[in-house]
Amino acid sequence: MIKTIPDLKKAEAKEDFSLHLVFADGVEGNIDLSNIERKGLFKVWENHFNQFKIEGNILSWDENCEIDADAFYLKLINKDFFEYARN
């Protein structure tokens, strides 16, 4: 049986460049993105951090700036992919 990461149901941007995420299985928490420099692909965050779409488990600010929320889920449950897939 293949174990998949639950769907991202809700995401809310905070003023401190963090995201509050809620997944379908009830896991939720804050992910701090303030250490990522807002240049290059992430320049859009400078003025539009709170303007994103959720498409599956992808957070999309524009066609160039997308982040897969699967890694955030694993961080929130404090497991790496292999630990999660085994259990």
Q: β-pairing, 18-23 with 8-13?
A: antiparallel
**Rounded Cα gap, residues 8 and 20, in angstroms:** 11
Buried b vs exposed e over 52-66: b needs ≥16 C-beta within 10 Å? Answer: beeeebebebeeebe
Q: How confident is the model at residue 1 (pLDDT cuts 50, 70, 90)?
A: low
Report pLDDT digits (tens) over 19-53. 999 999 999 999 999 999 999 989 999 999 999 99
Tell me, what's the pLDDT at 85? 86
**Rounded Cα gap, residues 23 and 1, in angstroms:** 21
The answer to the question of residue 23 being in a domain is yes
The answer to the question of residue 45 being in a domain is yes
User: In the predicted model, is pLDDT for residue 86 greater than 90?
Assistant: no
The answer to the question of residue 2 being in a domain is no
For 74, what's the count of Cα atoms within 13 Å in the CB-facing half-sphere? 15
Mean pLDDT for 43-70 is: 93
CATH number for the domain harbouring residue 66: 3.30.2020
The answer to the question of residue 1 being in a domain is no
The answer to the question of residue 3 being in a domain is no
The domain total for the chain is 1
Tell me which residue range forms the domain holding 29.
8-86
**Rounded Cα gap, residues 49 and 70, in angstroms:** 19
Q: Look up the pTM and report it.
A: 0.89
Mean pLDDT taken over the chain: 93
